[in-house]
Amino acid sequence: MLSAILGQNKERTIDRVKPSPYIAAMAVRDILILPDKRLRLTSKPVAKVDAGVRKLVDDMFDTMYDAPGIGLAAIQVGEPRRIVTIDLAKKDEAKEPQVFINPEIVTASDDKKVHEEGCLSIPEYYEEVERPAAVTVKYLDLDGKKHEVEATGLLATCLQHEIDHLNGVLFIDHISKLKRDRVTKKFAKAAKLAAKGAAK
């Protein structure tokens, strides 16, 4: 998906069309793709919510909306810090950006729910994952203030998926070994081919 976007930009340059000021101001970062080893790192807690953190959050939203995706963990743009951005608003609805700094699951419900999940780091692959239906998550906001949210539905799934990223866990770790091996192999092969192509 990212390469397609880069490809479009290249075409624009060839066509000598100036990018709009809006696009120029955006800081869309490269998203790490499976099997990038950094996706397996455990991210470090944010000690202080400062200007650097806020800039990273801005970049994360730009990257997430550009992809497009509904959730992103900082490690997916190569920053091993415990920061998550989420926006569950539908295409035709107003944006609802949510930031979770140092998010931590406090409680998880016994009842489970199955959702189809996808991941910007594993493009175009979707699989059903079973997780607790409800979770309580504590976190800091962009002012460093403490909050707690009781999440259900899509927010519960999304928060668990993104918090997994902060611990180096991917959603494919929750599916059968057979399916995981198959998708891991496919992405390893694609990365090898891409590396070969780049070396030429």
Give contact residues for Zn ion (rule: CB under 5 A).
Answer: 119
The residue nearest Zn ion at its CB is: 119
Give the nearest distance from C-beta 72 to Zn ion in angstroms. 8
Closer CB to Zn ion, 53 or 77, in the complex: 77
Amino acid at 166: L
If 0-12 CB within 10 Å is exposed, 13-18 middle and 19+ buried, where does residue 58 land? middle
Give the nearest distance from C-beta 120 to Zn ion in angstroms. 6
Amino acid at 33: I
Angle at 119 between CA 116 and CA 121, to 5 degrees: 160
Q: Residue 44 has what DSSP assignment?
A: B
Residue with tokens 């909306």: 65
Closer CB to Zn ion, 108 or 125, in the complex: 125
Closer CB to Zn ion, 83 or 119, in the complex: 119
Reported as half-sphere exposure (CB side, CA atoms, 13 A), residue 191 has a value of 15
128 as an active site residue: the answer is no
Supply the residues annotated as catalytic: 162
